[in-house]
Amino acid sequence: MPEYSDGRISYAAGPGGLDGPGAETDATQGQGQGLSPDIQKLAQQLLKWSQSPNIAADIDPNKLMRLGLECCYGYEIDRRSRKEWEDRSEAFMDMALQRVKPKNWPWPQSSNVMWPLLSQAVNEFASAIYPVIMDGDRVVKGKILGSDKGVPDEAKMQEMLAAAQQMAAMQQAGPGVGAMQPAGPEMMPGGAAGASGEQPEQPKIPYVTGKEPGAKRKRADHVSEHMSWQLLSQQKEWQTDSDRLFRALPILGCGARKSWFDPVWGRNCSMYVSMMDLVVNYYAKSLETAPRLTEVSELYPYEIVDNIRSGTFIKFEHGTAVATDENIDEAQAWSGDRYAPHVFLEQHCFWDLDDDGYMEPYTVTIHKQSQKVVRVTARYDADGIRLTEDRTQIAKIEPLHYYTLFQFMPNPESAIYGHGFGHILGPINESINSAINQMFDAGTLQNVQGGFVGSGLSMHAGALRFKMGEFRPVQSTGPALRDNFFMPDFKGPSLVMFQMFGLLVEAGRELAGIKAVTTGQASPASTDPQTMMAMLEQGMRVFKDVHKRVLRGLNEEYAKLFALNRKYMPKQGFKYQRADEEFQVSAEDYATTSGVETVGDPNMVTDMQKLARAQLIAPFKDDQRCDGKAIIRRIFEAGNVEDIDELVLEQQAPNPFAMLELQLKQAEIAGAVVQQQKDHAQSILYLMQARKAAAEADVVGLEAQIDAQLDREWQAIEHTNNQLQALELVVKAEKVEVDRVKANKPATKKAS
């Protein structure tokens, strides 16, 4: 069975770990510098066990027997702690699955209708959750940290900028200096003009290899495509188990998924585990910190033999399966069959097997019927072992966690066993069942009739059955035959009872968030689109918080699978086929991607909501303050348009060299303006001298003409001053933009 295969999740070792400074490979060889002989021996033993498929054969038989007894005892303690939750969950499961038991009150075989309120709520949730967790053929998306606009190669950019500045200086110096040009045309912004006078293309910005614009997103997309293919195609059990999980989650209030790497199949595996079969103490704080958790599973006799011969189990006598509390109903169905399955307990617990005073995490598998331990595996790897600062003993061993918890609603009493629709709808559903059964029973009494026969009527025939057109003789001493019969007045179903029934049904639907608009029963013909969106938003309000918890659980599960891929991905990468195309993902893609997350959005439950939000941002696609390409892509994604990359053109990043050329031209213009300002100032000086001479000569009208000319010159100087200030602001803004591109920083708002 796949659940008994080894699967480990990588944990980075910190200071003091076995692979920390001073103990890289020496600890595994028993020659670590600074490690005492005892810690070296202990380290060797722990590392050996971490790589063994079954260490039960290395354990003393008496200790192994005590281990099995204590594991079974701990399992019973945990089961008793959740007894009330287990009993209620079984009742809710029967209610959701419409399992009707015989009812003999108020008379045998009386009405026993079970109103499908809980069943409808479960179906509503299961149908609404899939658009949340899936986006077409994608269920996972890669995450990137930091900017993805590329890292320019500073050395090459300095060379190109120096060449550009030198070329600009030579162009200002005039003809005759071209022979002094040290750099080729490829080093200049825009290159040198050709013989035909055509301007060559602008040079591309040099980027560090592997850190080009979009490199992070490209690697994250590789991881996203690969993991989506794994879950939807390679792990065929994932979608089936997801259906089971999302059907059971609203009933029981919680569920779990087990993730591991199977070396036999050579791939990741995921398996849904019902919380009815995953026993944890009711008051435990979390799955990760619980001292033990036990998974109840079954194996057929031939599977037990396979595991024994393959070395997965140690040899033991399993005998014939008998009924236990865990499978009493199933065992009765298998009664007398030698192929009846056996119950096994797989307990994740802590035990001090090396007698060093520290309890290591292990997985112990026990045959429930005989209480024999058949397998023990280490629940840690070398990266999770920590030593104390003096490196004389084990400080901590980080356990590996295989289970991901999903909760429907939090439970105030338990951090693990959540609440579902069964807990909040169960009492109302039972009241609805009582009301409708009482109305049916009242209708039955009214339809069937019955009563008393007087002693004056003698038929001597027992029960009478009539044929069409037949009359039977009777002996009657009374004046009228009808006077010897009395039939109670059964009034039938009560109208008040029917109204109370409708009130309970409506309250249950309101509590479960079942609205006509969410079930497609509302007619949108006479409803304004915005009003319809508001109704839809209100109708899905109950589900949004639940969807967030589901997505949180999926993110934890995907993180485990991502870590498994990062650890077990072949160095040469992995090729896979999707539809008619071949894809490849590399170990470097997983090494450089910061992680993964679900594509789901709890606020985007339906296609109508997606399209409405896309229409909201559509007017901003041409706004300079927004990324138009990203807005267009989101609009296409909301409409489920395929091959978006073929429709959206790539936008070129701003070229700092073109900006430098612009600055140089602006500087030339500024120089010309300054020269004009100098000319105007010289003119003013000449005019002032002329005015003085005119005043001394007392020439009539000349002073007025000179004053008019002076006013024009002063206005010209003021105009050139304004030009210089405007150019200065433009040059500063362009310089900030060039610096931003060089440093790969996000743009800031320019002062208006």
pTM: 0.71
279-333 pLDDT tens trace: 999 999 999 999 999 999 999 999 999 999 999 999 999 888 877 666 555 555 5
Does the pLDDT of residue 399 top 50, yes or no? yes
In which band, very low, low, confident or very high, does the pLDDT at 406 lie, cut at 50, 70 and 90?
very high
Does 167 score more than 80 pLDDT? no
- Token pair belonging to 356: 């060093």
Q: Give yes or no for residue 580 having a pLDDT over 70.
A: yes
Cis peptide before 15, with omega less than 30 degrees from 0?
A: no
pLDDT attached to residue 599 = 87
Q: Spell out the residues 6+ positions from residue 647 whose beta carbon is closer than 8 angstroms to its own.
A: 636, 641
Distance CA 420, CA 410 (A): 9
Q: What is the pLDDT of residues 61-76, one digit of tens each?
A: 999 999 999 999 999 9
Residue 612 has pLDDT above 80, yes or no: no
How far apart, in whole angstroms, are the C-alpha atoms of residue 305 and residue 318?
Answer: 10
> Is the pLDDT higher at 469 or at 376?
376
Tokens 């007619």, located at residue: 523
Confidence of residue 130 (pLDDT cuts 50, 70, 90): confident
The mean of the pLDDT values for the chain is 78
First to last CA, the chain: 69
Tell me which of 256 and 525 has the higher pLDDT: 256
C-alpha span between 399 and 385 (Å, rounded): 9
Within 13 Å and on the Cβ side, how many CA atoms surround 436? 15
Would you call the peptide bond into 106 cis, given omega within 30 degrees of 0 as the criterion? yes
Q: State how far the alpha carbon of 450 is from the alpha carbons of 146, 164, 444, in Å.
A: 83, 110, 11
Q: How far is CA 589 from the centre of its chain?
A: 20
Q: Average of pLDDT values for 641-666?
A: 62
Q: Which of 408, 606, 421, 609 is nearest to 510 (CA)?
A: 421
Higher pLDDT, 630 or 421: 421
Q: Do residues 351 and 362 make contact, with C-beta atoms less than 8 angstroms apart? A: yes
Q: What does each C-alpha distance from 174 to 169, 178, 193, 746 come to in angstroms?
A: 9, 9, 15, 39
Q: pLDDT category, 269, cuts 50, 70, 90?
A: very high
The helix or strand, by DSSP H or E, that contains position 629, with its residue range, turns out to be helix 628-638
In which band, very low, low, confident or very high, does the pLDDT at 499 lie, cut at 50, 70 and 90? Answer: very high
pLDDT tier, 20 (very low <50, low <70, confident <90, very high otherwise): very low
pLDDT class of 180 with cuts at 50, 70, 90: very low
% pLDDT > 90, the chain:
36
Q: By mean pLDDT, which of 265-269, 432-436, 481-485, 615-619 is the weakest?
A: 481-485
Look at phi and psi of residue 311 and say left if phi exceeds 0, alpha if psi is from -120 to 50, else beta: left
Give the best-scoring range by mean pLDDT among 143-157, 203-217, 257-271, 680-694: 257-271
Reported as a pLDDT band with limits 50, 70 and 90, residue 734 is low
pLDDT at 185: 41
Model pLDDT, residue 489: 79
Residue 457 has pLDDT above 70, yes or no: no
Contact, 139 vs 228, CB < 8 A?
Answer: yes
**pLDDT > 70: what percent of the chain?**
67
**Sign of torsion over alpha carbons 306, 311, 312, 316:** positive
**Nearest-angstrom CA–CA distance, 194 and 192:** 6
> pLDDT grade, residue 748 (50/70/90)?
very low
Statement: residue 542 has pLDDT above 70: no
Tell me the average pLDDT across 30-59: 83
Give the closest residue to 376 by CA, choosing from 384, 367, 386, 365. Answer: 365
Q: What is the pLDDT of residue 358?
A: 93
**pLDDT reading at 495 higher than 80:** yes
Q: Token digits for 211? A: 């850190």
Predicted local distance difference test score (pLDDT) of residue 605: 54
Q: Where residue 556 falls among pLDDT bands split at 50, 70, 90?
A: very high
Cα separation of 9 and 399, whole Å? Answer: 10
Q: Among 398-407, 455-464, 575-584, 713-722, name the one with the lowest average pLDDT.
A: 455-464
CA separation for the pair 402, 409 (Å, rounded): 22
Structure tokens at 655: 């070229």
Largest Cα–Cα separation, the chain: 164
Tokens of 474: 């009777």
Label residue 604 by pLDDT band (50, 70, 90).
low
Q: What's the whole-number mean pLDDT along residues 477-493?
A: 74
* Residue 181 reports pLDDT greater than 50: no
Alpha carbons within 13 angstroms on the beta-carbon side of residue 30 total 7
pLDDT, residue 17, reads 42
Distance CA 67, CA 48 (A): 20
- Residue 682 has a CB neighbour count (10 Å cut-off) of 11
pLDDT above 90 (res 361)? yes
Q: How confident is the model at residue 529 (pLDDT cuts 50, 70, 90)?
A: very low
Q: In angstroms, rounded to a whole number, what is the distance separating the alpha carbons of residues 648 and 660?
A: 29
Looking at the predicted structure, is the pLDDT value of residue 742 above 60? no
More confident residue, 574 or 542: 574
The answer to which of 154-163, 347-356, 376-385 has the lowest mean pLDDT is 154-163
Whether 494 shows a pLDDT value over 80: the answer reads yes
Q: What pLDDT is attached to residue 49?
A: 93
What are the residues facing 486 on neighbouring strands? 452
Crossing angle for the helix pair 421-448 and 83-96, to the nearest 10 degrees: 50
d(CA 342, CA 521): 48
More confident residue, 170 or 93: 93
pLDDT score recorded for residue 359? 94
Q: Which of 134, 96, 131, 247 is nearest to 518 (CA)?
A: 131
For residues 410 and 418, the answer to whether their CB atoms sit within 8 Å is yes
Distance CA(534)–CA(609), nearest Å, equals 10
Q: How confident is the model at residue 744 (pLDDT cuts 50, 70, 90)?
A: very low
pLDDT score of 634 more than 90: no
Residue found by looking up tokens 């007398």 in the block:
336
**pLDDT value of position 401:** 95
pLDDT of residue 30: 40
- In angstroms, what CA-CA distances link 23 with 17, 29, 30, 380, 528? 8, 10, 10, 19, 71
User: Residue 411's CB: how many other CB atoms inside 10 A?
Assistant: 18
Using an 8 Å Cβ cutoff, are 192 and 201 in contact? Answer: no
